[in-house]
Amino acid sequence: MFKHVFISLFVLTVGVSIAQSDRFRAAFEIGVMGGGSYYIGDLNPNTHFKYSDWAAGLIVRYNLSNRHSFRFTASYANVYGDDAMSNDPYQINRNLSFYTDIIEIAAGFEIDLLKYRINDMKYPITPYFFYEIAYFRMNPKVKDEFGDEISLQELGTEGQGTILNSKKQYGLNQISIPLGIGLKFNLKERLAISIEYGIRKTFTDYLDDVSGKYVNPLALQGIKGPLTAQLADQSLNQQSYFTEGLDRGNPRTKDWYSMYGLMITFKPWGKTKCHFQPR
């Protein structure tokens, strides 16, 4: 799917660039991103940059002025969490883990705090912030003892979609709100580099497949099978067998994920008849 996103983006870029006027050519730039990603949630409540993994993507900017840009991004990231790596005794005993790749497509606006143009060394550097709306796809998983992947959403580890839980199975396609800051500067005319950090507010608490309470493990096994019951409670003391309704996660908070790193952008065309004037 991610390959299809990049192909679509490339085709759109080529088609629009051919069709548009000098105004478009003066305003358009494209780039690549590379860096890291991590998540904040039940398995990592508040430590930023913990469990960081790699991330990459593409960016297209359409510069509306020397202070404002429209941006479109397509990104791929990996996030994970592991209770066994925590310093919290409760998490160590809970012993849950997960990993997921994230495919994200986002669009929004970028605001430069200083006058800036990628093709003009007179205005070569600016800090900026951005805000977007994004679609992303997740699929939390674990690996079994043989190294085979197990998709947790299909299992319903908290009894979702059964008589044990009033909640339906959570969706793998979600919406997030990316917010971030950065610093971009020209290396030379038509070529720039950015350092960027962005955090994404999501509207799901199941990025890590952990949210609510343990359900009756024997009933869950009867409905969903032994694998689901096993992955639902991996605690060292098998706590759900002794305390029904014990918290497995914190449903009052939603999960977040972040991406950060370097971005190189390039302006395909040089100066044209239509270019920005400083304001």
pLDDT confidence of residue 232: 96
Least confident range of 84-88, 121-125, 183-187: 121-125
Tell me the β-bridge partners of 127.
183
- % of the chain with per-residue pLDDT over 70: 87
Read off the pTM: 0.85
pLDDT, mean of residues 121-135:
94
Statement: residue 259 has pLDDT above 70: yes
pLDDT confidence of residue 58: 97
Domain residue extents for the chain: 2-143+169-210+256-266
Asked whether 190 and 258 are in contact (CB, 8 A), the reply is no
Helix (H) or strand (E) holding 143: strand 141-143
Helix then strand then coil, in percent of the chain rounded to 5, is: 20, 40, 40
pLDDT confidence of residue 192: 94
In angstroms, rounded to a whole number, what is the distance separating the alpha carbons of residues 63 and 48? Answer: 32
SS in 3 state form for 158-174? Answer: CCCCCCCCCCCCCCCEE
Domain 2-143+169-210+256-266 -> CATH class: mainly beta
Asked whether 116 and 105 are in contact (CB, 8 A), the reply is no
pLDDT, mean of residues 139-168:
94
By DSSP bridging, strand 125-137 and strand 173-188 are antiparallel
Tell me the β-bridge partners of 7.
none
Reported as a single tens digit per residue, the pLDDT across 18-57 is 444 556 566 889 999 999 999 999 999 999 999 999 999 9
pLDDT confidence of residue 271: 61
Asked whether 261 and 35 are in contact (CB, 8 A), the reply is yes
pLDDT, mean of residues 59-73:
93
pLDDT confidence of residue 170: 96
